[in-house]
Structure 1
Amino acid sequence: MQVTLLGTGDTTGTPTVGCDCDTCQTAREPPTELRERLRDQGATITAAGGVERTRFSVHLRNERTSESLLVDFSPDFRQQFLREEVSLPDAAIVTHIHFDHLDGLGNCYRLVDDITVFAADETDPQTGKSVAETVTSDYDYLDQISVKARAPLEPFSVCGFEVTLLPVVHPPLVCYGLSVEDPVTGAQFAMTGDTCYDIPAETRAELADADLLLVEALVPADLCEYHPLGGNHHDSDGVPRTFGTKHMTREGALALADELDAERTRLVHAAHFYPAKEAFAEQIAVDGEQYDLS
């Protein structure tokens, strides 16, 4: 299983359009030592020499079947696929209906002949529809897509992988993490999806012991003081592991990673609100990182 991190940023990405904060400036013009370290890690450095954290998406390639599975349709779909030169997906999964995970689906027009999109069948009290139903209704003009609803916590097969949608907590909408396993090699990829720290026990059990784990880590915990709702799910030292109600802090993500004990963990969905000196720490992923799991 080859995993390519197409997009590792939050809703606005880094650098953010129109922003001249220190973090965005560092992303546009990274110091030489940072640029070299990121390249050594396999990360993307743009032609202009900058660092990218575009909106979230992951590409999974099954070398055995020569098929590709896409997790979430980033609005930066075109840029990501041109930049990384990965194959167009044979199938895809949508974790939730926020625009930064879904609105790239329109790129399938004239690019693919047909693609199956899997999404959860669980009705969202907020919308009155499941994720699968929302994708179907919002993209009914795309003849190329076929939406298949799947029940959370029930494995299904796609692209030679065994995939399980895992409920997480991302109010006010339903949202899902993933476990993706190659039944032949035993390689496992897992991701929390967008979530607060309060992930259900059954989901934690499915996420545990992966070869590669992606954990969302929007901001450092000390930024909770600037959120109207503050922080939540504090540890024994009073450090919030949730930023507001719907995203994990870096400290919450690291605590969860320790519990889940993956072979390798990367922090994703990072915002440009990280201070510049912390935003490109080795633990926080940037676009273009690629991992071969076997």
Structure 2
Amino acid sequence: MEVTLLGTGDTTGTPTVDCDCETCERAHDPGPELRERLRERGVDPSEGVERSRFSVYVRNEETGESLLVDASPDFRHQFLTQDVGLPDAAIVTHVHFDHLDGLGNAYRLFDDLPVYAADETDPVTGESVAEGIRSRYDYLDTVSVHPQTPHEPFTVAGLEVTLVPVEHPPLLCYGLRIEEPESGAVLSISGDTCYEIPDRSKAALSGADLALVEGIVHEEACEFHPKGGAHHDEDGVPRTFGTKHMTLPGARDFADDIDAESYRIVHTAHYVPADRAFADDIAVDGECFSL
């Protein structure tokens, strides 16, 4: 299984448009030390470093098929700048625009793009993620929607995929367990979530060769959130920012909780201070992994 991180940022990405904070400035001009560290991670920093809106490309090495996890609004840019082909299918974890709106790019690029999403009705929206995609993109004949039941594995692109419910209030949201049957390689994706998720979901995400774990900001940022922080560790450090995203310490603890062999923190915002925003365990666009 080959995994390419197409987009590793939050809803505004890094660098953020019209922002001159130190983190965005460093993304534009990483400097020699960070450039060298990025090269060691297989990333070309010649044009700076980027965290565009979230998306992951998974290639089944046994069949040659590929799967796109979440359709970023930066779809066009990602596929022009990363060395991957168009996917054979896609999965959408939830209906927030930074995970969904790239589906509009299916126009003229695909004869058919099968899109898989949960069939569970969201009490807030009155429809499932699958129904939300179908209603939003009913004008695109190239998008076909295939509802799936959470916790019930299904096969797409030759991979065994399970939608795993997580906690991202007020909307339903899902993480993913993706397994390549021939090699047994496993990728887990936490989805957008707070630190506390159901035990069944945590078990489903456990034991991965690689875990992509959401961590949106540093823990001190909780002081500026109207709802503060939650799910504190034994030292009082908040592992949830507000109610629906993990802090960086929360993401690291979560990766440890699910016993991932390796991990990267994703969906990270530009609010993280520049001296911490580019730690080696916080992903950047273009990182590739062979599982």
TM-score class, shorter-chain normalisation, is: over 0.9
Secondary structure in structure 2 of the residue aligned to 1:169: coil
The aligned length equals: 291
Partners of 1:108 and 1:43 lie apart in 2 by 27
Partners of 1:81 and 1:100 lie apart in 2 by 16
Deviation of 1:231 (Å): 0.3
Deviation of 1:85 (Å): 2.4
Runs of 4+ in 1 over 3 A off after TM superposition: none
What is aligned with 2:190? Answer: 192
Partners of 2:110 and 2:89 lie apart in 1 by 10
**Which of 82, 85, 90 is the equivalent residue of 1:84?**
82
> Does structure 1 conserve the Cα–Cα contact (< 8 Å) formed by 2:62 and 2:182?
no
> Equivalences for 1:77-156 in 2 at 5 Å?
77-156=75-154
**Which of 59, 62, 76 is the equivalent residue of 1:61?**
59
What is aligned with 1:22? Answer: 22
Deviation of 1:42 (Å): 1.4
What is aligned with 1:31? Answer: 31
Deviation of 1:258 (Å): 1.1
Tell me if 1:12 matches 2:32. Answer: no
Secondary structure in structure 2 of the residue aligned to 1:173: coil
> Does structure 2 conserve the Cα–Cα contact (< 8 Å) formed by 1:241 and 1:248?
yes
What is aligned with 2:213? Answer: 215
Deviation of 1:43 (Å): 2.3
> Does structure 1 conserve the Cα–Cα contact (< 8 Å) formed by 2:117 and 2:147?
yes
Partners of 1:78 and 1:44 lie apart in 2 by 19
Partners of 1:106 and 1:199 lie apart in 2 by 31
Partners of 1:6 and 1:53 lie apart in 2 by 9
Partners of 1:213 and 1:42 lie apart in 2 by 18
Secondary structure in structure 2 of the residue aligned to 1:170: coil
Partners of 1:235 and 1:36 lie apart in 2 by 34
**Which of 276, 279, 288 is the equivalent residue of 1:278?**
276
Partners of 2:234 and 2:228 lie apart in 1 by 17
Secondary structure in structure 1 of the residue aligned to 2:173: strand
Partners of 2:21 and 2:140 lie apart in 1 by 39
Q: TM-score, normalised by structure 2?
A: 0.99
Q: TM-score, normalised by structure 1?
A: 0.98
The one-letter code of the counterpart of 2:183 is T
**Which of 155, 158, 163 is the equivalent residue of 1:157?**
155
Deviation of 1:235 (Å): 1.1
Partners of 1:35 and 1:240 lie apart in 2 by 31
> Does structure 2 conserve the Cα–Cα contact (< 8 Å) formed by 1:2 and 1:62?
yes
Secondary structure in structure 1 of the residue aligned to 2:166: strand
Partners of 2:258 and 2:196 lie apart in 1 by 14
Q: Percent identity?
A: 65
Partners of 2:279 and 2:233 lie apart in 1 by 23
The unaligned stretches of length 5 or more in structure 2 are none
